[in-house]
Amino acid sequence: MAIRKIVTLGNDTLRKKSKPVVAFDESLGALLDDMKATMIEKQGVGISAVQVGVLRRAIVIELDEGEYLEVINPEIVKTKGKVCDKEGCLSVPGFYTDVERPRYVKITAFDRHGKKFEFEAEDYLARCVCHEIDHLNGVLFVDLTDEGKRYKKEHGVQ
Among all residues, which ones are annotated catalytic?
132
**58 versus 89: smaller Cβ distance to Co ion:** 89
CA distance 75 to 53: 21
Among 156, 108, 97, which residue's Cα sits nearest to residue 131? 97
> Least distance to Co ion from the beta carbon of 89, Å?
3
Who's near 86: CB < 8 A, 6+ residues apart? Answer: 96, 97, 98
**22 versus 84: smaller Cβ distance to Co ion:** 84
Who's near 109: CB < 8 A, 6+ residues apart? Answer: 71, 72, 73, 74, 75, 116, 117, 118, 119
> Least distance to Co ion from the beta carbon of 8, Å?
10
Q: Which residue number places its CB atom closest to Co ion?
A: 89
**Which residues contact Co ion by CB under 5 A?**
89
Cβ atoms < 10 Å from Cβ of 68:
16
> Least distance to Co ion from the beta carbon of 91, Å?
5
**28 versus 60: smaller Cβ distance to Co ion:** 60
DSSP tag of 4: P
> Least distance to Co ion from the beta carbon of 118, Å?
23
Type of residue at 128: C
**28 versus 59: smaller Cβ distance to Co ion:** 59
